[in-house]
Amino acid sequence: MSDQLYQERIVELAKAKTGAGKLAAPTKSARRDNPLCGDRVTIDVRLDGHGRIAEIAHQVRGCLLCQASASALASVAVGRDLAGIATLRHDAERAIGRKEGEAGEPFSAFAPVAAHKSRQECVLLPFEALKEALS
Q: Which residues bind other proteins (CB under 8 A)?
A: 1-3, 5-6, 11, 36-39, 61-65, 67, 116, 119, 122
In whole angstroms, how close is the CB of 63 to other proteins at the nearest point? 4
Instruction: Report the alpha-carbon distance of residue 15 to residue 55 in Å, rounded.
Output: 20
For other proteins, the closer of residues 67 and 69 by Cβ is: 67
* Shortest Å, Cβ 30 to other proteins: 20
CB nearer to other proteins: give 35 or 49: 35
Enumerate the β-bridge partners of residue 58. Answer: 20, 43
User: Is the Cβ of residue 2 or residue 135 nearer to other proteins in the bound state?
Assistant: 2
CB 78 within 8 A of CB 46: no
CB of 54 to other proteins, least distance (A): 30
In angstroms, the CA 33 to CA 105 distance is: 26
67 vs 71 by CB, closer to other proteins: 67
**CB of 111 vs other proteins, minimal distance in Å:** 16
State how far the Cα of 122 lies from the Cα of 70, in Å rounded to an integer: 10
Instruction: Return phi, psi of residue 104, to 5°.
Output: -80, 175
